[in-house]
Structure formats: structure tokens, C-alpha cells
Amino acid sequence: MNPSSAANDLPILLDADRIANRIREMAADISRDYRDRTPHLVGVLKGAWVFMADLVRSISIHCTVDFLSIQSYGSGTVSSGEVKITKDLDVSIEGRDVLLVEDILDTGRTYSYLQEILGAHDPASLKLATLLDKHSRRILPVEADYVGFEIPDVFVVGYGLDFDQKYRNLNDVRYIPQPQTLFLFGKETPKPE
Ligand code: IMP
Ligand code: MG
């Protein structure tokens, strides 16, 4: 297998139906928990855009949306340990109930950084909804408030998630199977700072 293999050769971890069902449940929880408020959903580009689009359409209360873009990984899968904002929020979050929307919570570096940066703008509350949680890889002690699926330590693509900017268009979440392949893909386990 190499990075240009057909996308459909990769094994499925979570199929589209399962994802859709779980997102409806998450949206119901969010609609209930924020029922007297208007949550401000902030999607983290680019990985979260597909999840965000499905999640908001199942939310039954008023909500507003914004996006920010960050860079936490380069073109491969080796974490630089560095996170920077490459597209900032369009509107102020002061006094808002901010719900960050992420594709995946991995080491926790990104969320930890965003908690610090966004927290400094005085939101009324700041929570996280993530589709996937690779809990076993956590380096920093952060937890998501809404989790779609806890998954094992495999590199996943599809449903918005990429490898080298590709595979985002897949309907299912798929994974890159063997450790040897991960080596070929340049993946190494990020070291704690
Ligand atoms: P963290 O800062 O280590 O928690 O990493 C979060 C970000 O790393 C995610 O938003 C993804 O962009 C990226 N990431 C982590 N694991 C994967 C994966 O298995 N596939 C694709 N992207 C991943
Ligand atoms: Mg991301």
C-alpha cells in the first residue's frame, strides 16, 4: 500500500450509517444541554467541517457558527508539537457559550492551546464536541464534553480527516492498518515536550 492507493482499499473503522446515528444522538444531547441558550459552534478547520455540517443540521435549538483554522500537523502525520492559528474567528465570543467542534482529540495539544487562546476572550462557557477521541494517546490532561466515538491508536482518514490533504471526501472513517505502513507514511509517536 502507498499513499496513492485507492481510498476504498482502506479498511472501514466507522461506516457512514453508524456515524450519522451517533451524530444525531450527540446533537440531541447538545440541544438538551443548551436548551435555554444559543450556543456558538466553532469548527476547527479543516478536519471538522464535514462533522460540523452534519452536527448543526441535527441541532434543534438556535445556534450560530464560526470557524477557525489551525495548523498542528505538517503535510505528513508527525506532530511538530506546535499549534498556530492561520484563520481567526470572525465575531467576538465574549459572553457566548462556545462549543468547539473538532474532528479528533489526540494528544490534546490543540484543544489545550485553544482553551487558553479562546478562554482569554471571556466566553460565558467553553466546551468541546469531538467526533473521535484517541484517548490512549493523550499527553495533556484535557477531556471532551461530547465524544462521538473513542477509537484505538490508529491513523484514521475520511469524513473530513486527511492524510496529506487527501481522503477528506470519504463517507466512512477508514484507517491505515499495519505499523509497517505507518512507518512508510512517516508516522511517529509524538514525544511529550
Ligand atoms: P492533538 O493536538 O494531538 O489533539 O491533535 C488533534 C489534531 O491532529 C486533529 O484535529 C487532527 O487534525 C490531527 N490528527 C490526529 N490524529 C489524526 C488521525 O488519526 N488522522 C487524521 N488527523 C489526525
Ligand atoms: Mg483538526
Instruction: Dump pLDDT digits (tens) for 55-84.
Output: 999 999 999 999 999 987 554 555 556 788
Query: Mean pLDDT, to the nearest integer, of 141-149?
Result: 98
Identify each DSSP E strand in 2-145 by its residue range: 12-14, 40-45, 64-73, 79-87, 97-105, 125-133
Single-letter amino acid code for the residue at 190: P
Ligand 1 neighbours, Cβ below 6 Å, are: 47, 72-73, 79, 102-110, 155-157, 161
CB atoms under 10 Å from CB of 128, counted, come to 22
List the residue whose alpha carbon is closest to atom 10 of ligand 1: 104
Weakest-pLDDT range from 18-32, 38-52, 67-81, 174-188: 174-188
Structure confidence at residue 82 (pLDDT): 74
Tell me the whole-structure pTM to 2 decimals. 0.88
- The upper half-sphere exposure of residue 187, i.e. CA atoms within 13 Å in the direction of its Cβ, equals 17
Question: Confidence class of residue 184 from pLDDT cuts 50, 70 and 90?
Answer: low
**What DSSP character marks residue 187?**
-
Q: Check if 9 is active-site.
A: no
Residue 143 grid coordinates: 477531556
The three-class DSSP label of residue 153 is coil
What are the b/e assignments for 150-159, b being 16+ CB within 10 Å? ebeeebbbbb
The minimum-distance atom of ligand 1 relative to the CA of 155 is: 19
